[in-house]
Amino acid sequence: MARVSFTDNLQKHLPCPPTSAPGETVRAVMDAVFEENAPLRGYILDDQDRLRKHVNIFVNDEAVSDRVALSDPVAENDRVFVFQALSGG
């Protein structure tokens, strides 16, 4: 299973501790995470089920290229990192 972690900033809004989740694509992994933590979906995906503009997901050290379908592949021992971009001055 992939290891999924979330930025500390996201964890300020709701509990989302690191977890392991099955799946061969980013979408499958994230859907497994959302099954265990349904409120997290609204922070990560928009109303059309696409990755929100201010959210990024990396598989190991590579940003996902498919922000719509989240079809990027995930291997058994990959690390998936989800973070929200910060703005302000």
More confident residue, 26 or 86: 26
Question: Could you tell me the pTM of the whole model?
Answer: 0.92
3-class secondary structure, 11? helix
- 25, 70 contact by CB (below 8 A): yes
pLDDT digits (tens, 9 = 90+) for 14-58: 999 999 999 999 999 999 999 999 999 999 999 999 999 999 999
Top-tier CATH class for 2-84: alpha beta
In sequence order, what DSSP letters do the residues of 12-77 get, joined into one string? HHS----EEE--SBHHHHHHHHHHH-TTHHHHHB-TTSSB-TTEEEEETTEE-S-TTT---B--TT
More confident residue, 19 or 9: 19
Q: How many Å apart are CA 55 and CA 13, to the nearest integer?
A: 14
